[in-house]
Every structure is written in structure tokens, then in C-alpha cells.
Amino acid sequence: MISTETRQIVRRRANFACEFCDITETDVGGELTVDHFQPKSRKGSDNLENLIYACARCNLYKADYFPKTDAEQKLWNPRQESSDAHFLHLPSGELFALSETGKFTIYRLRLNRPQLIENRRQKQIQAEEDLLLARYQSLTELLMRMYQQHLELLDEQRNLLEEQQRLLRIFNSEN
């Protein structure tokens, strides 16, 4: 039995998202499951390094899979390796395998199921929108600074014109 404290550590460490497919608690409307990467039935432990935060689907598809020999297909372990070594996120939202481990993981966990593809595509769109918004905010700040500098230059020009008029009056009064 995994303690509540350990469960919370695993949740926070995973940023409240499935470590395999990246679906969040918010996406599914509740907490996910704490899974053993190496199942207890295959001599896995309750150590934090062996615990994975996973959605119900990834947990179901993974089941108690764990290779018995080095010759068997390996499943990607998000606790030990970056996803970048095994997957490429395509603009369509699909995952493309970069390794045999990535290919097997996509197959075993069905990581290209339509709902995940759409979720990744929506996250890409949101990330692009956030980037555009940040750029617009930056441009707005630059425009505001330019406007302020323009006002300062106009004020300086007004002062110079007043000084020029004063000098012209002095010059005209002496002639």
C-alpha cells in the first residue's frame, strides 16, 4: 500500500499529469493513478524511483508489462529518460517514434489514440497563442516606451522653442 504522503510526492513530481501521455488531472477531472513501472508481480518495489503517475488508460494498457530478458521490448521509463530521446511531437499532434523503445511504447500504451492527438494539438495551439500574446505584450510595452519618449521629446522641443523665442525677443529689443 502506497502512503498518502508518497502519493502526493509522486503527483507533484509529475506535475499532476500522466508521465506517459501528459494528460493532466484537469484534463480528466480527477486524480490519476500511481503505477509501478516494474510491477510488484515482476518484483518491483514501492521505491519512489519505481513509481509512475499514470492516467487510467496508460495504466490499463501497460498492465503488468515488464521485460523478463534484455531481448524483450523495453517500455520508455519517464523517470529515467527524457521523452525527446524516443518521441518527436508532430504538428498534427501525433507522436513519431525515434527509437525502438519509443515505437514499442507508442504501440503498447496507444499513445496516438485520437483523444491524445487532439489534446496534444490543442496544447500546441495554446502554446503558440501564449507565445503570440507574450510578443504582443512586449510590443505594447515598447510602443508605450516610444510614446513616452515622444512626449519627452515634444516637451524638450517646446522648451527649446520657448528659449528661441526669448532669445529672438532679446535680439529684437537690442536692434
Contact indicator for 104, 93 with CB cutoff of 8 Å:
no
Which pLDDT does position 155 carry in this prediction? 95
Which pLDDT does position 103 carry in this prediction? 97
Sequence-separated (6 or more) residues with CB below 8 Å from residue 137: none
Question: pLDDT tens, 119-150?
Answer: 999 999 999 999 999 999 999 999 999 999 99
Which pLDDT does position 56 carry in this prediction? 96
Long-range contacts of 158-165 (CB under 8 A, 24+ apart): none
Q: Which residues of the chain have pLDDT under 50?
A: none
Which pLDDT does position 161 carry in this prediction? 95
- DSSP-assigned states of every residue in 147-167: HHHHHHHHHHHHHHHHHHHHH
Which pLDDT does position 175 carry in this prediction? 74
